[in-house]
Amino acid sequence: MAMDLQQRLDLLTTASRFDLACACKYPDEPGRQRGPDGRWIYPAVLPGGRKVMLLKVLQTNACANDCTYCPFNSNRHIPRCSLRPEELAKTFMDLLKADRVSGLFLSSGVQGGPDRTMDRMLQTVEILRRRFGFKGYIHLKVIPGASRAAIEQAVRMATRVSVNIEAPTEQHLARLSSRKRFYQDIIAAMQAISDLRGSLNPRCQQTTQFVVGAAGETDKQIVTATARLYERFRMERVYFSAYQAPDPSPKGIHDLFGQEIYQADTQIAKGVIREHRLYQADFLIRRYGFSRDEIPFDQDGNLSLEQDPKTLWANLHPEFFPVPINKAQRWQLLRVPGIGLKGADRIIAARCQGPFRTIEDLARLGIRLKAARPYIRLD
């Protein structure tokens, strides 16, 4: 069935929702929201901390890959369409001029091979950068198996690039796709990005994403792989997407991330909690100074669904507590449940004016006393 531009845009912006590499949020960050035209607009945070809202879209939802977790894999019978580079670039600029978006997140199904797919995406970005003079935020997905030349061009022009790892090991990826190669297609692309960004575009960031629960992996395997990615490739962020078996109907694809499904399906709800726990563990490693060996797992290698990993660590290490609020160093304060990054900094700044006299004095600094009280003391 022939589709006009509006219909193709609607389909390809809806399809892009399944790549969550800029959709997660913390309490102080903006979440995704619907724009005036009904399309989802997504948040991203620039290296300097400024937040931008993104048009998130696929160049095409046609795909030759057979990834079992993807609702648009080659084995599914759904409407397929594409956007020409000129069409997509002009549409983005129209939305930018209307002040509906401030950046672009561009991904794609694989059509005609990795490099041919990358060529269309890169043409879109090149039109934006050179013809329209757009200097703002562009997140460009790198297709696994793309050549070094294509990756080089992506790093030159994009603000952020990412190639999704999907699974923590080669064996797990083989359960998800017969056509993606873990080391040759994904890890090699990450290495190329890491090498090239230093020489071509130091401001370009690299991220990736795991599909959680699709390959039978444990949380410990994901956390271990995540820590290695930070160490080896200087990743800015690792994202996690809870796997949800897609409904075979187009309506099911459209509604897969609807709030009513989260509430109605217990298995999906558990997957979302698991995703949240992985983000908490990631935050402990990335921002709180925890090592991957300090993240607590159960005997099966999974994070607790009932308790967050920081509180669980605290309960497993009574020798560390109570922490003296008036003397503790920043890293010690960050081990206390209920004290976050800003809270620790506020405590240290407030101590310059004099010691805390009562535990309740912490409440005005935004400390969650109910969580923190069992783990702190005054001198």
Domain membership of residue 125 (yes or no) is yes
| Residue range 366-377: mean pLDDT, rounded | 95
Encoded amino acid at 175, one letter? R
Domain membership of residue 369 (yes or no) is yes
The residue out of 238, 258, 274 marking a domain boundary is 238
228 lies in the same domain as 357: no
Domain membership of residue 274 (yes or no) is no
Domain membership of residue 194 (yes or no) is yes
> Which residues on neighbouring strands pair with residue 107, listed in sequence order?
58
**Residue entry with tokens 């290698």:** 301
pLDDT for 115-143, tens place per residue? 999 999 999 999 999 999 999 999 999 99
pLDDT for 13-38, tens place per residue? 776 665 655 444 444 444 555 555 55
| pLDDT over threshold 90, residue 260 | no
Tell me how many domains the chain contains.
2
The CATH number given to whatever domain includes residue 231 is 3.20.20.70
Which comes out higher in pLDDT, residue 270 or 21? Answer: 270
| Residue range 290-313: mean pLDDT, rounded | 97
**Residue entry with tokens 């009904």:** 38
Q: How confident is the model at residue 60 (pLDDT cuts 50, 70, 90)?
A: very high
221 lies in the same domain as 324: no
The residue out of 197, 215, 238 marking a domain boundary is 238
Contacts 24+ apart (CB under 8 A), 343-346: 343/367
SS3 248: coil
What sign has the CA pseudo-torsion 368, 302, 330, 319? positive
199 lies in the same domain as 339: no
Is residue 304 within 8 A of residue 298, CB to CB? The reply is yes
Q: How confident is the model at residue 303 (pLDDT cuts 50, 70, 90)?
A: very high
Predicted structure pTM score:
0.86
For the CA atoms of the chain, what is the radius of gyration?
22
The CATH number given to whatever domain includes residue 346 is 1.10.150.320
Q: What per-residue string of b and e applies to 322-351 under the rule 16 or more CB within 10 Å gives b?
A: ebebeebeeebbbbbbbbbeebbebbeebe
Give CA–CA dist 376/307, Å, rounded: 19
| Residue range 166-190: mean pLDDT, rounded | 97
The pLDDT assigned to 26 comes to 43
What proportion of the chain, given as a percentage, has pLDDT over 90?
Answer: 70
Domain membership of residue 300 (yes or no) is no
11 lies in the same domain as 108: yes
The pLDDT assigned to 30 comes to 43
| Residue range 337-360: mean pLDDT, rounded | 95
> Range of 151's domain?
5-238
The residue out of 238, 263, 292 marking a domain boundary is 238
Domain membership of residue 252 (yes or no) is no
Please tell me the least confidently modeled range out of 6-15, 50-59, 167-176, 251-260.
Answer: 251-260
| Residue range 176-191: mean pLDDT, rounded | 97
230 lies in the same domain as 324: no
User: Which of 312, 297, 295 shows the shortest CA–CA distance to 375?
Assistant: 312
For residue 245, the 8-state DSSP code is: P
Domain membership of residue 56 (yes or no) is yes
Domain membership of residue 312 (yes or no) is no
